Chains A and B, each alone.
Chain A
Amino acid sequence: MIKNAAKRFYLILIFILLYSPIVTLMVLSFNSSKTRSKWGGFTGKWYVALFQNQDIMNALYTTLIIALVSALIATIIGTAAAIGIQAMKPKFRTFLMGVTNIPMLNADIVTGISLMLLFIAFHFSLGFKTILLAHITFNIPYVILSVMPKLKQTSKHTYEAALDLGASPVYAFFKVVFPDIMPGVFSGFLLAFTMSLDDFVITHFTKGPGVDTLSTKIYSEVRKGIKPEMYALSTIMFVTVLLLLFLVNITPDKKEASGGKRLKIHRKHRVSRVVFRKVLPTAMVIVIIAGGFFYGSQNRDGGSNQVIVYNWGEYLDPDAITMFEEETGIDVVYEEYETNEIMYPKIQSGAIAYDAVCPSDYMVQRMIENDLLAEIDFDNVPNIKYIDSTYMNQSRQFDPENKYSVPYLFGTVGILYNKTMVDEPIDSWSVLWDEKYKDSILMQDSVRDAFGVTLKYLGYSLNSTDLDELEAAKKLLIEQKPLVQAYVVDQVRDKMIGNEAAIGVIYSGEALYTQVENPDLEYVIPKEGSNLWIDSWVIPKNAKHKENAEKFINFICRPEIAKMNFDYITYSIPNSEGRKLIEDDWMRNSKIAFPDPEDLKNCETFQFLGDENDAIYNQLWREVKSK
């Protein structure tokens, strides 16, 4: 008795371990607050919003169609392969099973990378098709490994008996062998479908622009905070599957004693088997395909008349994209990145031909120097006139002739702190090294920002290439590491709002938003000076739709659109006409959004320091991170 209770207790513990995150997510889907770390009361609004969020619905559709198609193809190839392998000589069979095991045992990251290298080497453009190919590849082994044991159980003689009775090999296979291995095929399919559904790593490496599965969508959202609609969607998916399974299991084949009963149950079971083997899958296929046509008709038209935009995460009002599409009929394929350093290699490798990209100052310079950018035809961008000349002049630091870039947003890097958690007025970077705030400090997870802050604190230029200065900065960063709660990028925002940390290094634009959400937060540009940054639109040399890109940039420079963007992301706009349109006085006059020249006197703009110095920075940063 005690033993049984202990066993039950253990099962419950494991169950809690496995399911507590799932329950957490379900609860979050009813949280009316947008940030994960705050409970804002119960709401069902995300479930409504979900069906209006086309991004998520698209990702869902892509995920399901890839899972379905890849599982189907894998099931066909895998089942055929299993039968073939079974008929082979043991030696060859062992070898082939070894090959089959590779994708299962190999690290996802290695599989993903190897496929990415293959696709790029053979000039497959990364996109829907490459994800599909990759998923089929890792799905086939699951099918083979599910079918093989069933094949082993199947007697060869029944197949031969069928042939003997005059059946053709094909007929014999489908009438005699197939029914026997059906459960294996079915579970192989289910496994493949689920694996595909849940895959992130391999998709991450083999996907291209504009295509997102739920996994990659979520990953790109991680940094800036997951949209609550995502929780709602997951909850719906989970509950649906749970209900389906419950229905399947409500008619189990219990071995009853009496004969009469057994017969009845058998018949009932048969009905449910028909439902679950035939009706449900058919219904699923119909729903998915119908959904596909529905979303396809809305989205996937006008393939060639498009513009591929590569922008920072959460850096453009989606309504602006819709407006642009409606106005011009140009399809916008929109991709996001988290840091300049993630964006750059993608452009450099040319694996994907983006049309409009929005790098920061120093990165613009680097791209110009490495001959990656096309000159913008300003005849097509008349709205450049609305950009304040101050910022056009600032741009000359990295784009000396104003030929390649159009300023989009600007801002400063500073310290965001929670007034209730710090004692003294904060005006210096030194607070980031204050033992008092151990585990309450959020640092930027990007090389130049982290070093820039440190170099400034040390009194050096944030464009320093002096090895001694850099070494000193590295030492300081290593010293700081034990105090840091986490290295993050956009997450600073949510964590500060949720009172997770006292002090965070943040971009001014984010600061404005956080203050609205949490009045305890205050932003300051430290007296040692900081980074004044400008993010600008550029057009890569390998762009396929250069004119469309120019139209897009021109559209963004329109004052109403600039103002719309400011309202949405609260980052400072260099568009002087646009600023005048801001209704909120507090916002329009905010020193955070539009700082006085006074505050900026110690501030510098990042410059590109050359590949070699970049490598040194990267190396030093890795040394910091791995300590």
Chain B
Amino acid sequence: MWDYTDKVVDHFLHPRNVGEVENPDGIGEEGSLACGDALKLTFKLDENNRIKDAKFQTFGCASAIASSSALTEIIKGMTLEEAQKVTNEDIARYLGGLPKEKMHCSVMGRDALEKAISYYRGEAEKEIEGEIVCECFGVTDVEIERAVRESNLTTVEDVTDYTKAGGGCESCHDKIQEIIDEVHGKPHVVRLKPAGLTNIQKIKLIEQTLEREIKPSLKQDGGDIELIDVDGNTVIVKLQGTCATCVASQVTLKHYVEAKLRELVTPELVVKEVQS
């Protein structure tokens, strides 16, 4: 049994604004029968371009119905600019919170609202942005990234609760984790076998490793490093900042920079400092 707030139960048992607005200015549809929930939102503007009336039709569970009902109550009286700023968290907050596993219901509300506003503005139906990551529920990397960013999600489970992505066959969990890591700025260095590295791949990987792994830690000590050239397996760098004058710089170069590059790129690498 879900732990719904009294407000969710109230909006479920007594949904506000059910139906379709006549001659709507905005129409937004989100979800599908296959997914288990779907929402059709319609609204009408008054002469001052405020939302005069908003109605919904929803197929789905109690929290989907309550989220839709809440959405219509929230946006009534708003200008489109104000409505555009409504987030899924606003919908959940209005209801006194939703169970974590049901957050996707509030995301569906927000998405339908965005579609309805785009419809009013005559913007063409947006092409699906990005690439599908979750085949089961048709969720793209762009949608996942947005949810991770906006709701500060940190685990695959969170992403599933908010977007449904990963809730089916689970084969996309690694990909979702990568997106989470990327958004939160965690280094995600792809390890490739030496044999699989072309020259360009090797140089790119060296650059990536320097940027994500090595520079941040040198900078903590006020130092820095610049990649000058890659000649075969010789990586030529220039130490900067405090590193340039540090007596221990050769130790740093061999024991840290070279070791790290060997670990993450290929074990044959030799790091040399540029001769000035």
**Chains A and B belong together in one complex:** no
Q: Which residues of A contact B (CB under 8 A)?
A: none
